[in-house]
Chains A and B, each alone.
Chain A
Amino acid sequence: MSVNEPITSAVVTVTVNGTEGEHEVPVRRLLVHFLRDDLDLTGTHIGCDTGSCGACTVHLDGVAVKSCAVLAVQADGATVMTVEGLAGEELTPLQRSFHEHHGLQCGYCTPGMLMSASALLAENPSPSEDEVKVALQGNICRCTGYWNIVEAVVAVGKGEAA
């Protein structure tokens, strides 16, 4: 759908975690605020104001992006997956691996980490330690020092998660 005259608010159709919906949003609303405040999907977090920390990472049309650097209106016609959409009845092997390897402490960066890691694993099912670090380079953690997180993701690739 094209928008060929400037508008300040729009009705967007977006499929989030498999559910399609129509929502009116101000153009200036960031995707992360749309998810958190309009859709009550508060698993996606905000940790900075310069697009640096990655706590807001989601999948937009299957690709890991920082939802604080995308306008909600840009997600019109797209699919979005957030952390709430990862697990079905059971936690995914990735989520279980984070748990087993103590890859989270306060849990604030965790949704973003999971979204970046799951995007990596979808493309590269058995990543090396370096490949994992590159994939997580856009996700800041202040609690763990990253070592256990990297180990958790590598372990999934090796099929070690229970």
Chain B
Amino acid sequence: MSTTETTTATETTTLQKGYVGQSVPRREDKRLVEGQGVFFDDVKRHGMGYLHFVRSPYAHARIQSVDVSAALALPGVYGTLTGDEVAILTDPFFQIAADPGGQVKDYALAVGKVRYLGEPVAAVVAETRELARDAAELVEVDYEPLEVVVDARASLEDGAPVLHEDCGGNLSYTGVWEWGDVDGAFAEADHVVSISQLHFDRFNSTPLELDGALVEWNRGTGQWAITTNNQFPGFAVIMMAPAMRVGTDKLRMITQDIGGGFGNKITSHPQLVACCLLARKLNRPVQWTEWRTDFHQSMSHGNERWFLDTEVAVQSDGTMTAFRTKAIDDAGAYLRYEPLGGVIWSQVAPGMYRWRNLRLEFTQAMTNKAPVSPNRGYSRMQHLWFTERIIDIVAQELGFDRVELRKRNYVQPEDMPYETPNGCVYDSGDYPRALDLALELIGYDTVEQRRAEAVERGKLLGVGIGSTLDSGTNNFGQSQLLNPELQFSGNNEVATVKLDIFGEIVVTLGTTPQGQGHETTAAQVVADILGCDVDLVHVRAGHDSYWNSHAGFSGTYASQFAVTGLGAVKGAADELAEQMKTLASMVFQCPIEAIELADGFARIAENHEAALPFMALGAIPNANNAGFPVDPPPMNARFVFRPQFDVPDKEKKFGNLTLTYAMQIHACVVEVDPETGVYEIVDYAAVDDCGVRINPQIVEGQVMGATAHAIGAAMFESFVYDDEGNLLTPNFYDYHVPHALDMPPLKTSSVESPSPFTPLGTKGMGEGGGGGIHCVCAALQDALRAAGGALVTDSHNPYHRVWDMLRHPERSRDTVEVVKQ
């Protein structure tokens, strides 16, 4: 069941009413349901060798020696690569961090040391997958185990084992982020609530397709063709090219179908470099497929974050005026996309609330665990969870109603566009209205009745709200707030639209969709602008840097396609439309204003007989261009969409860091078995607002997927390590993800608050901000009020944690104090 409400629309687009806004069924589907999708592992090349990585069984060890001779002797083995070779052939990867994190030396294979269990140490290429695997077992590595540290708080203490000696310690980045008058706000506060520890756990989205690539080396041109599923090729080549000492154009990045990304396919560049080096060394195509256990042990964990010594200043009427906290973030063993997590949270520094005084001390540390990388909701989710926990804990401690406290403190619709204390601008939204919708969907007014009825069945019922933002379209200038030396700022995306010789409309994108339906939504936008049937618009599948349809930030990540990708598509289509009208006006010898594009023609609006079909328009510049005194326009447009940003103020850490703010409000009802701690989500509602929705069905699909990920993280999913750095959840057997029978009933609804800042009024969406985690935590806390009143201070609440909360409510209760009454 899904309903939609629209808030006041503003005129932001010149689109005719047409495909945009309709749930046009996806054109990607046909090949995918036929099993004819092309995922990287589906691609074969003659003579290709299969690569298997030898991985470290230790979380921390010196590498004394690597002996590949037995592997090389196995028939069918083509060759090997070791860390020693990598250290000679490549330079360490560029580091985003300033010192000390900037001193990390990160290579395609471990050089000298291993720093997490599963780290690739050597690579073997062989004739078949099985042989490569066999040969990998024959590689002898002599390790000298070192002491291990798996807790970021411990890794920051004196005497902790140091991962990267060049850094002098395990600190990657630390900084104080403060705006407003925090001390003053606390001095004037009627109440101060102190929460000693909140913990956001480590998990990720485990896309079903693993990482991998097929890399071909062209010996004549010195170019690599990398067929892969890396979802941010712009970032990958910026990392790979300098390390490999080649120009970025030597790295052709090709993707077609990608089996889910969710941010977890951004940092595969070390493995891609290993593949490239081997393809060149062996002069044959090299194919690497990651297996599930490899992925869990070594790829893209989400940021684990503690919020310590939090204090919240609250007025007696419930207005929250300030918070201060110390965030400790665990980056794992290497910094790849980090420490960007250290600034990205600040896109939503006050969450959805009108705090004007904030202080957050952000410290990131490295540990002997898999390196983190962006994970759906990246760094904002952790922070938004923190703000939602504050609301629920403050409400419970001070006796406020959770709904009223939110509504009182939400940024209000009349405040929009709203500038936050650190200069970010929330573009639009009606949070109270969306909250009301969510409460209506969940049947909030019947909760007490349902609670009583559940008690009869021996269950504790709870209802929870999780409100969250999905900030989209980054200003990469925020990276300079972490490292002023960086030369990154703004953002971009590219698209081309052309008419081919027979009038076929061809669109290329710079993006790397992993199921978001870019081909379909791009076609909708183009069809509306060109005035033609959507089926006539051919959008090329995937990404290929050979198309020259990309720029430095191209890729699909961070909830931005509807703004950057479609902004580029709109720009290119608008330009093409202008070219088509110009050409038609040349042909008909009339002013350009007289021409319209409609029904698949460029025609004189007042006289539809004077009409040129697209085929004619395409043929003229391509094949029939004599007789024009002025060049006929080429029927080919390339547009680089650039969102308007300034470089933020590095001193004050102030500026607009994100163009759009989509919003979701989730609500759920849980039933807890007080004897076992086992609980079930029995009802669920999600309301989203992502501005103008190009394709409502696709938007809803993203909301559903984000909900499922959040439910998994809340109930089941965690990367748990023991003290030796062994990952105890290395595959789907122990890392349980939700299956069909685990899903609650779901009701969704939408609000459309167009963004005033984007070409189409759209906002990026998709990540979802972890709303499900927030509301499950809230619902559990509500359920437990009747059984000890434990407070939920962890994002991850498997049955055993709920059982602990039931038996020892004082453990969490004792971490919270109202220090000022």
Contact = CB atoms under 8 A, between A and B. Distances in A.
Direct chain A–B contact by Cβ atoms under 8 Å:
yes
Interface of A: 26, 28-29, 33, 36-37, 40-50, 52-53, 55, 82-84, 86-87, 91, 95, 98-100, 102, 104-111, 114, 132-134, 136-150
Given A102-B23, A109-B208, 10 more contacts: A45-B208, A52-B732, A52-B733, A84-B35, A105-B260, A105-B514, A106-B257, A140-B208, A142-B208, A147-B746
Interface residues of B, number: 58
A146 B46 CA distance: 38
26 contacts: A36-B42, A42-B39, A45-B209, A47-B209, A47-B210, A48-B292, A48-B732, A49-B291, A82-B35, A84-B34, A98-B33, A99-B33, A102-B25, A102-B700, A105-B516, A106-B515, A107-B33, A108-B39, A108-B209, A110-B32, A136-B740, A140-B732, A142-B205, A142-B206, A146-B738, A148-B701
A81 B698 CA distance: 30
Contacts of B700: 102
B616 interface: no
A48 to B, nearest CB: 4
B623 interface: no
A104 B32 CA distance: 8
B731 interface: yes
Interface in B25-41: 25-26, 28-37, 39, 41
Contact of B129 (A33, A50, A84, A150): A33
Contacts of B130: 26, 28-29
A100, A104, A105, A150: most-surrounded residue (chain B CB, <10 A)? A105
A132 B743 CA distance: 13
B259 A100 contact: no
Given A49-B291, A109-B208, A110-B32, A137 B740 contact: yes
Nearest to B43: A42
Nearest to B207: A142
Interface string B61-86: 00000000000000000000000000
A37 B129 contact: yes
Contact of B208 (A26, A40, A50, A141): A141
The 3 A-B residue pairs with the shortest CB-CB distance, nearest first, are A43-B35, A108-B259, A107-B32
A139 B517 CA distance: 22
Contacts of A41: 35
Contacts, number: 180
Interface in B722-753: 731-733, 737-741, 743, 746
Contacts of B29: 98-99, 104, 107
Contacts of B192: none
A102 B29 CA distance: 9
B566 interface: no
B266 to A, nearest CB: 16
Interface centre among B26, B514, B709, B739 (most CB of A within 10 A): B739
Interface of B: 23, 25-26, 28-37, 39, 41-42, 44, 129-130, 205-210, 257-260, 262, 289, 291-293, 514-517, 697-698, 700-702, 704-705, 707-709, 731-733, 737-741, 743, 746
Nearest to A146: B740
A144 B28 CA distance: 15
A145 B704 contact: yes
A82 B39 CA distance: 17
Contact of A99 (B25, B44, B737): B25
A105 B517 contact: yes
B731 A55 contact: no
A37 to B, nearest CB: 7
A100 B25 contact: yes
Contacts of A87: 33-34
Contacts of A105: 260, 514-517, 701-702, 705
A141 to B, nearest CB: 7
B559 to A, nearest CB: 15
A17 to B, nearest CB: 10
Nearest to B205: A142
A55 B743 CA distance: 19
B25 A45 contact: no
Contact of A106 (B210, B259, B289): B259
A102 B701 contact: yes
Contacts of B516: 105
B285 to A, nearest CB: 14
A43 B36 contact: yes
Contacts of B517: 105
B225 to A, nearest CB: 19
Contacts of B738: 145-146
B292 A140 contact: no
Report whether over half of chain B's contact residues are helix, strand or loop; otherwise say mixed: loop
A145 to B, nearest CB: 3
Is chain A's interface secondary structure helix, strand, loop, or mixed overall? loop
Nearest to A116: B740
B208 A144 contact: no
Given A140-B732, A142-B260, A142-B705, A106 B207 contact: yes
Contacts of A104: 29, 32-33, 515
B746 A145 contact: yes
A27 to B, nearest CB: 11
Contacts of B732: 48, 50, 52-53, 140
Given A47-B259, A107-B259, A142 B709 contact: yes
Given A99-B26, A107-B32, A145-B746, A49 B515 contact: no
A108 B210 CA distance: 10
Given A49-B292, A108-B260, A143 B515 contact: yes
Contact of B731 (A46, A49, A132): A49
Contacts of A132: 740
A91 to B, nearest CB: 6
A131 to B, nearest CB: 11
A150 B32 CA distance: 18
Contact of B701 (A53, A110, A144, A150): A144
B740 A139 contact: yes
A149 B130 CA distance: 35
Contacts of A84: 34-36
Contacts of B704: 144-145, 147-148
A108 B206 CA distance: 13
B33 A110 contact: yes
A82 B33 CA distance: 11
Q: Most chain-A CB neighbours within 10 Å: which of B206, B260, B291, B702?
A: B260
A61 B23 CA distance: 39
A147 B700 CA distance: 11
B441 to A, nearest CB: 15
A108 B129 contact: no
Contacts of B733: 50, 52
B34 A83 contact: yes
A145 B739 contact: no
Contacts of A142: 205-208, 260, 262, 705, 708-709, 737
Given A43-B34, A99-B29, A143-B260, A133 B708 contact: no
Residue of A33, A139, A147 most packed against chain B (CB within 10 A)? A147
B776 to A, nearest CB: 14
B208 A145 contact: no
Nearest to B35: A43
B424 to A, nearest CB: 29
A149 to B, nearest CB: 8
B35 A44 contact: yes
Contacts of B291: 49
Most chain B CB inside 10 Å of its own CB: which residue of A45, A114, A143, A147 = A143
A146 B208 contact: no
Contacts of B26: 99, 102
B711 to A, nearest CB: 8
A91 B34 contact: yes
B44 A91 contact: no
B737 to A, nearest CB: 6
